[in-house]
């Protein structure tokens, strides 16, 4: 015997089946609003999504065009009838909005006029996920008790389907994250491999989080060094400068931080933990965050930051091992020179000295000359042994960090350093010395003339060129009227002597940017 259901019950079942066919969370939410409007014959519908503080962070509308939604352009503040539903946590039906005591008329000018109103909470267990609002039943009639019962039933069923969709979204996000990071780090031979691996991690975070940019920032004392950037990289220095206090706090505490920056957008600052390299942080700026990804995104970005730390530790361990092997090899050479060569030469000298009294005067003169030559050879060998034991100077990056720390007191603030490419391997020692001198001159010019509150220093190494860029936010100048000083002349001469060039861009009130470019010769 076939069971004949009432039309309302059949419509409700059809709606539930249709909603359940969706796995994408946004699709589920859109289906809920659409089904609610169809069941009640409502002209307009919207599902308002809440954050942990019960503030609206996103809207899923139906009955409005995209242009109308953009024209309204503001998130509800939870006043009036929109706020009454979450406060009382029950469905509310109003025949004439303007006559209701809670109605405040606080709607944007472009918002459609709402006379009939029906609202119901959408709950996940005891927690409010959002609230469903319907307006203006077609034909001008009022929403009925049956409409209210249908919306309440649909909202209860929607809670379970939203929970399922959230679980699916989380599982899918984990799967994509694992797929995007699994191939990274397979080949980390040398500095280039490390840079490429971290570049890939930062790029994967941009795609996964829908972020404006991501950056790996290394901290050395008060100096923040931007090592890898993905996304809108031109804004990296400004973002890091704005987050300076948060980055230091996160690195010191080791606790990830989530900073809301707008509806459905957050900035994440996560510590990079290492044992050998030092401290740092991963910054994910303006990430697109859905309610179901709120905790998960921060957790997986933290795991990515731990991957960065492991990559850096492995690279540093390889470097340390290479230095140890070089040091051991130098010690071995020094021992061999001392034990074999010097002792043998010294014995030869002694033999010649002993033979001097037995031979002719000519032989004595030759023996004296041989002894002198042997003494000179011993001195040269001792000098070579000493040089092998002492080694060479510090890498360019270490010298640059030390110079920036030195000028922090002169400037009154710590500059931001950004590094692009294999900087330590791009220049011969002579060019490194010229670069450091140019950087010192540029920072001195900023300290004397710019009246700046921030400075960024960028080192970029490519296969053909090495670029030093120093940018400040000082008072600037008009290049057409300001006479070129000895400082800029020296900078230009140094660059040209190495086959490079200098360019300075400035305007009153907008700061100055200096670019010192020379050929990259490693």
**Taking Cα atoms as reference points, which of 63, 60, 15, 68 lies closest to residue 43?**
63
Tell whether 174 is covered by a domain: no
Residue 425 counted as domain residue = yes
pLDDT band at 490 (very low <50, low <70, confident <90, very high): confident
Domain boundary among 357, 391, 425: 391
- Within 10 angstroms of residue 475's Cβ, the number of other Cβ atoms is 15
| Residue 274 forms part of a structural domain | yes
For residue range 38-69, what is the model confidence (pLDDT) as tens digits? Answer: 888 888 888 887 766 667 777 888 877 677 77
The DSSP code sequence of 420-462 is ES-GGGSB-HHHHHHHHHHHHHHHHHIIIII--S-EEEEEEE-
96 belongs to a structural domain: yes
Q: Which DSSP string do the residues of 68-120 spell out, in sequence order?
A: HHHHH-----S-HHHHHHHHHTS-EEES-GGGSTT------TTSPP--SEEEE
Q: Ranked by mean pLDDT, which of 116-120, 180-184, 499-503 comes out on top? A: 499-503
More confident residue, 105 or 311: 311
* pLDDT score recorded for residue 448: 87
Residue 190 pLDDT grade (very low, low, confident, very high; cuts 50, 70, 90) = very low
Please state the rounded mean pLDDT for residues 429-455: 89
pLDDT digits (tens, 9 = 90+) for 296-328: 888 888 888 888 888 888 877 877 787 777 677
Coil, helix or strand at residue 522: coil
pLDDT value for 487: 57
Same domain, 140 and 271: no
* Helix H or strand E segment including 246: helix 244-253
Residue 195: pLDDT band by 50, 70, 90 thresholds? confident
The pLDDT of residue 481 is 66
> Which CATH number goes with the domain that contains 122?
3.30.450.40
What is the domain count for the chain? 3
* Model pLDDT, residue 513: 92
Residues 203 and 151 in one domain: no
| C-alpha closest to that of 44 among 162, 132, 123, 107 | 132
Supply the pLDDT for residue 3. Answer: 46
Tell me the per-residue pLDDT of 140-150, one tens digit each, with 9 for 90 and over.
888 888 888 88
Kindly provide the b/e burial profile for residues 408-429, where b requires at least 16 CB atoms within 10 angstroms of the residue's own CB: beebebbbbbbbbbbbbebbee
Model confidence at 510, pLDDT cuts 50, 70, 90, reads confident
Interval 251-261: pLDDT, tens:
999 999 998 88
Q: Is there a contact between 300 and 177 (Cβ–Cβ < 8 Å)? A: yes
List the 279-288 sheet strands across, edge first: 257-262, 265-272, 279-288, 213-220, 223-231, 416-420, 455-461, 465-472, 512-519, 501-506
pTM for this prediction: 0.65
**For the segment 337-380, what is each residue's pLDDT rounded down to a tens digit?**
666 566 666 666 666 666 656 667 766 766 776 776 677 667 66
Assign residue 438 the CATH number of its domain: 3.30.565.10
In Å, what is the CA distance from 446 to each residue of 415, 453, 469, 471? 11, 10, 13, 9
* 149 and 187 assigned to the same domain: no
Give the CA distances from residue 88 to residues 38, 220, 445, in Å, rounded to whole numbers and listed in that order. 26, 53, 64
Mean pLDDT, the chain, integer: 79
Within 13 Å and on the Cβ side, how many CA atoms surround 468? 27
What are the CA-CA distances from residue 123 to residues 89, 133, 167, 246 (Å)? 9, 14, 16, 35
Q: Given this model, what pLDDT does residue 232 score?
A: 86
pLDDT above 90 covers a percentage of the chain that reads 14
Q: Is 101 exposed, middle or buried (0-12, 13-18, 19+ CB in 10 A)?
A: exposed
- What is the average per-residue pLDDT within 172-195? 65
Confidence of residue 391 (pLDDT cuts 50, 70, 90): very low
Distance CA 316, CA 293 (A): 34
pLDDT on residue 316: 78
Q: Which residue has the higher pLDDT, 66 or 478?
A: 478
Token couple for 271: 């510590």
pLDDT in the model for residue 467: 93
Residue 512 has pLDDT above 80, yes or no: yes
The last residue of a domain, from among 391, 407, 431? 391
Beta bridge partners of 217: 226, 281
Statement to judge: residues 350 and 430 lie in one domain: no
pLDDT of residue 382: 67
153-163 mean pLDDT: 78
Residue where a domain stops, chosen among 391, 407, 441: 391
Which residues form the domain of 329?
183-391
Give the β-pairing of 56-62 and 42-50: antiparallel
Cα distance between residue 204 and residue 412, in whole Å: 37
Q: Which is higher by pLDDT, 440 or 22? A: 440
Is 175 domain-assigned? Answer: no
In a domain, residue 480? The reply is: yes
Q: With 60 as the cut, is the pLDDT of residue 212 above it?
A: yes
What is the model's pLDDT at position 19? 62
The pLDDT score that the predictor gives to residue 246 is 93
Structure tokens at 207: 């795609």
∠ CA 274-201-323, nearest 5°, is 45
Same domain, 268 and 131: no
Inter-axis angle of helices 145-182 and 7-20, nearest 10: 10
Q: What is the pLDDT of residue 293?
A: 76
User: 331: pLDDT confidence band, cut at 50, 70 and 90?
Assistant: confident
Residue 467 sits in the same domain as residue 375:
no
Cα 59 to Cα 279: distance, rounded to the nearest angstrom: 40
Do residues 220 and 347 share a domain?
Answer: yes
Token pair, residue 19, equals 């909603």
Q: Is the pLDDT of residue 16 over 60?
A: yes
Residue 129 confidence (pLDDT): 77
Q: How many CA atoms lie within 13 A of 346 on its CB side?
A: 11
Looking at per-residue pLDDT, the higher value among 110 and 486 belongs to 110
Provide the β-strand partners of residue 455.
472
Bridge partners of 516, per DSSP, are 468, 502
When pLDDT is averaged across residues 194-215 and rounded to a whole number, the result is: 86
Rounded CA-CA distance 216/201 in Å is 10
Confidence of residue 388 (pLDDT cuts 50, 70, 90): low
* Model pLDDT, residue 53: 64
CA distance 274 to 151: 53
């Amino acid at each position: 015997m076939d069971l004949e259901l009432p039309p309302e019950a059949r419509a409700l079942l059809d709606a539930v089946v249709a909603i359940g066919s969706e796995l994408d969370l946004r699709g589920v939410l859109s289906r809920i609003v659409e089904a609610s409007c169809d069941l009640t014959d409502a002209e307009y519908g919207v599902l308002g999504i809440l954050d942990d503080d019960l503030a609206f962070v996103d809207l899923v509308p139906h009955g409005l065009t995209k242009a109308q939604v953009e024209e309204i352009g503001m998130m509800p503040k939870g006043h009036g009838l929109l706020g009454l539903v979450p406060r009382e946590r029950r469905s509310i039906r109003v025949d004439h909005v303007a006559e209701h005591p809670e109605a405040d008329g606080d709607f944007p000018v472009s918002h459609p006029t709402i006379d009939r109103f029906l609202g119901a909470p959408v709950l996940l267990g005891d927690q409010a996920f959002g609230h469903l609002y319907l307006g203006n039943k077609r034909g001008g009639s009022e929403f009925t008790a049956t409409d209210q019962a249908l919306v309440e039933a649909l909202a209860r069923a929607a809670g379970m389907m939203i929970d399922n969709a959230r679980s699916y979204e989380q599982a899918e996000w984990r799967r994509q994250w694992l797929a995007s990071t699994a191939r990274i780090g397979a080949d980390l031979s040398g500095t280039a491999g490390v840079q490429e691996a971290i570049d890939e991690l930062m790029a994967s975070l941009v795609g996964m989080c829908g972020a404006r940019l991501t950056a790996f920032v290394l901290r050395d004392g008060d100096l923040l060094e931007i090592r890898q950037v993905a996304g809108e990289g031109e804004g990296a220095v400004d973002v890091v400068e704005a987050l300076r206090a948060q980055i230091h706090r996160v690195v010191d505490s080791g606790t990830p931080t989530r900073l809301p920056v707008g509806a459905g957008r957050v900035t994440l600052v996560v510590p990079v933990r290492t044992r050998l390299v030092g401290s740092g942080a991963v910054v994910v700026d303006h990430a697109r965050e859905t309610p179901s990804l709120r905790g998960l995104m921060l957790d997986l970005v933290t795991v990515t930051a731990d991957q960065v730390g492991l990559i850096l530790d492995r690279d540093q361990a390889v470097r340390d091992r290479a230095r140890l092997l070089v040091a051991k090899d130098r010690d071995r050479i020094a021992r061999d020179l001392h034990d074999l060569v010097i002792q043998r030469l010294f014995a030869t000298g002694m033999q010649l000295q002993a033979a001097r009294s037995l031979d002719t005067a000519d032989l004595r003169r030759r023996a004296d000359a041989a002894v002198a030559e042997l003494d000179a050879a011993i001195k040269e060998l001792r000098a070579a042994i000493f040089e092998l034991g002492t080694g060479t100077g510090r890498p360019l990056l270490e010298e640059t960090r030390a110079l920036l720390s030195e000028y922090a007191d002169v400037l009154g603030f710590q500059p931001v350093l950004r590094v692009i490419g294999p900087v330590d391997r791009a220049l011969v020692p002579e060019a490194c010395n010229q670069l450091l001198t140019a950087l010192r001159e540029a920072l001195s010019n900023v300290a004397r003339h710019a009246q700046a509150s921030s400075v960024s220093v960028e080192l970029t190494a490519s296969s053909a060129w090495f670029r030093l860029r120093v940018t400040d936010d000082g008072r600037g100048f008009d290049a057409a009227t300001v006479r070129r000083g000895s400082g800029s002349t020296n900078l230009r001469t140094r660059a040209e002597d190495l086959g490079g060039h200098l360019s300075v861009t400035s305007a009153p009130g907008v700061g100055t940017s200096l670019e010192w470019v020379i050929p990259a010769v490693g």
